[in-house]
């Protein structure tokens, strides 16, 4: 079923919402068509341009083939480490997936839409949009500790600092569009750009121009890369006000410059892609390793991983076994020595061993030496032999 929503805003301006297919949980058209509708310019008091947005080159190129990321999770992680950015501040572990729709139902699609909001902070009387004030730590809106809990996934201050309000793996609703059905919960990831506002009485229609700082665009670009890599495909960006046409009265983001964000996106992508590819090798099946000569060699290591341990791993195991065996032999030798020493202690002082004899002497000792006879025994033996010989002689006669 296709839902068409219409709304009347401000000075009798009719703006047509983007068509949504609730059975497929997607807006109608290609990713580029969807983005052109969902990124229409948001004007003061929530009026939206009827004309579709012209997508800048980097974003247009990504959405032309969303599955062709060209970067890996490992490269993004390495980039964050290089920049000193903790993963806990940018939506959670980069290696994890993002949430599914239908309250993170595994059977539902992963989040598809990257929603851009602005968090309005009305200035106090006497304060104004002076960049030397609103773009510094002196303005209270830039303090992470003062940001409300449970509003979004990511906050981005004008200083480019981020706060994870909800992990990207947590389904969350932050628009009126998502409220009617739990099936929409988790289909969108939300990003609040801190922005000061002014206006009469309780109104805050007025915003600074430019609306956001280069630091905010840079960090929003990084969040877009992180979200896309965790999803496995580039997401369709959405303005909050355009999403809520017909069901809400929001007017954010104000004075958002697609060209400025696109330039930041190109810079971030170049930085991430400059990270060493070998760090990402485990995530790329069959990637050939570079040889010392700079040419690629067959990816034998991939086969080794499938069949079992690699050669290096086997060698390490062999060395480990040899070391363990040597340790056992050493333990046995020590045990024997201990046993011998205990026995010696019981027997008392050890007797002196005779001086070593030559091999020749030892060999003679091995033969049984005839016993020496006394003189009496010798004579007795002679007489016996004489008698025996005499008997033999008589017999012969």
**Close Cβ partners of 8 (under 8 Å, ≥ 6 residues apart):** 14
Q: Determine the angle formed by the axes of helices 214-231 and 73-83, rounding to 10 degrees.
A: 150
Assess whether pLDDT exceeds 80 at residue 131. Answer: yes
pLDDT band, residue 115 (cuts 50/70/90): very high
Round the average pLDDT of the chain to a whole number and report it.
79
Tokens 């983007």 correspond to what residue?
18
Q: Is the overall model pTM greater than 0.85, yes or no? A: no
pLDDT band, residue 305 (cuts 50/70/90): very low
- For the chain, percent helix, then strand, then coil, each to nearest 5? 45, 15, 45
Sheet of strand 2-3, all strands in order from the earlier edge strand to the far edge: 2-3, 20-21, 26-27
Assess whether pLDDT exceeds 80 at residue 278. Answer: no
Tokens of 386: 């004489």
User: How far are the Cα atoms of 170, 226, 283, 325, 326 from residue 320, in angstroms, in the given order?
Assistant: 44, 40, 29, 9, 10
**CA–CA dist 113, 101 (Å, integer):** 11
Q: Is residue 311 classed as helix, strand or coil in its secondary structure?
A: helix
Segment 364-391 shows an average pLDDT of: 45
- Provide the percentage of residues in the chain whose pLDDT is more than 90: 62
Count of CB atoms situated within 10 Å of the CB of 296: 11
Q: What is the pLDDT of residue 155?
A: 98
- Residue 101 near residue 188 (C-beta atoms within 8 A): no
Q: What is the pLDDT of residue 315?
A: 57
More confident residue, 327 or 350: 327
**Close Cβ partners of 310 (under 8 Å, ≥ 6 residues apart):** 301, 304
Q: What is the pLDDT of residue 61?
A: 98
Count of CB atoms situated within 10 Å of the CB of 312: 10
- Residue 39 near residue 74 (C-beta atoms within 8 A): no
Segment 100-125 shows an average pLDDT of: 97
**CA–CA dist 16, 3 (Å, integer):** 12
Q: Is residue 36 classed as helix, strand or coil in its secondary structure?
A: helix
Residue 109, CA atoms < 13 Å, CB-side half-sphere: 14
Q: What is the pLDDT of residue 102?
A: 98
Q: Determine the angle formed by the axes of helices 57-64 and 31-38, rounding to 10 degrees.
A: 140
Q: What is the pLDDT of residue 321?
A: 63
Bridge-based pairing of strands 113-122 and 13-15 is: unpaired
Angle at 280 between CA 277 and CA 285, to 5 degrees: 105
User: How far are the Cα atoms of 55, 111, 235, 274, 390 from residue 59, in angstroms, in the given order?
Assistant: 7, 18, 10, 19, 133
Q: Determine the angle formed by the axes of helices 73-83 and 258-273, rounding to 10 degrees.
A: 100
Calculate the CA dihedral of residues 381, 382, 388, 392 and round it to 10 degrees. 150
Assess whether pLDDT exceeds 80 at residue 312. Answer: no
Q: What is the pLDDT of residue 248?
A: 82
What burial class does residue 58 get, using C-beta atoms within 10 Å of its C-beta: 0-12 exposed, 13-18 middle, 19+ buried?
buried
Assess whether pLDDT exceeds 90 at residue 347. Answer: no
What burial class does residue 91 get, using C-beta atoms within 10 Å of its C-beta: 0-12 exposed, 13-18 middle, 19+ buried?
buried
Most confident of 234-243, 282-291, 327-336: 234-243
Q: What is the pLDDT of residue 107?
A: 98
């Amino acid at each position: 079923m296709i839902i068409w929503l219409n709304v009347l805003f401000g000075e009798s301006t009719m703006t047509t919402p983007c068509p949504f297919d609730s059975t497929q949980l997607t807006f109608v058209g290609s990713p580029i068509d969807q983005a052109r509708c969902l990124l229409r310019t948001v004007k003061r008091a929530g009026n939206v341009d009827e004309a579709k947005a012209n997508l800048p080159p980097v974003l247009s190129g990504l959405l032309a083939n969303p599955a062709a990321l060209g970067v890996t999770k490992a490269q993004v992680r390495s980039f964050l480490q290089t920049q000193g950015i903790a993963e806990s501040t940018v939506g959670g572990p980069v290696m994890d997936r993002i949430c599914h729709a239908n309250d993170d139902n595994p059977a539902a699609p992963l989040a598809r839409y990257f929603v851009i909001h602005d968090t309005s902070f009305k200035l106090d009387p006497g304060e104004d949009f002076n960049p030397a004030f609103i773009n510094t730590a002196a303005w209270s809106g830039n303090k992470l500790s003062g940001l409300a809990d449970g509003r979004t996934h990511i906050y981005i201050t004008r200083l480019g600092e981020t706060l994870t309000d909800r992990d990207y793996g947590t389904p969350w609703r932050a628009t009126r569009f998502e409220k009617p059905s739990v099936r929409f919960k988790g289909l969108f990831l939300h990003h609040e750009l801190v922005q000061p506002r002014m206006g009469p009485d309780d109104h805050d229609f007025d915003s600074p121009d430019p609306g956001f700082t280069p630091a905010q665009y840079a960090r929003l670009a990084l969040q877009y890369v992180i979200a896309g890599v965790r999803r496995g495909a580039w997401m369709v960006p959405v303005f909050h006000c355009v999403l809520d046409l017909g069901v809400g009265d929001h007017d954010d983001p104000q004075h958002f410059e697609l060209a400025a964000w696109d330039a930041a996106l190109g810079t971030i992508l170049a930085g991430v892609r400059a990270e060493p590819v070998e760090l990402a090798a485990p995530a790329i099946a069959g990637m050939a390793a570079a040889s010392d000569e700079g040419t690629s060699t067959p990816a034998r290591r991939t086969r080794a991983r499938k069949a079992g341990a690699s050669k290096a791993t086997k060698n390490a195991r062999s060395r480990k076994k040899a070391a363990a065996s040597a340790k056992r032999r050493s333990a046995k030798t020590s045990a024997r020595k201990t046993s011998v020493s205990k026995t010696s202690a019981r027997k008392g002082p050890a007797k002196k061993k005779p001086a070593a004899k030559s091999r020749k002497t030892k060999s003679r000792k091995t033969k049984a030496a005839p016993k020496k006879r006394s003189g009496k025994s010798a004579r007795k033996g002679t007489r016996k032999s004489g008698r025996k010989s005499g008997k033999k002689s008589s017999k012969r006669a």
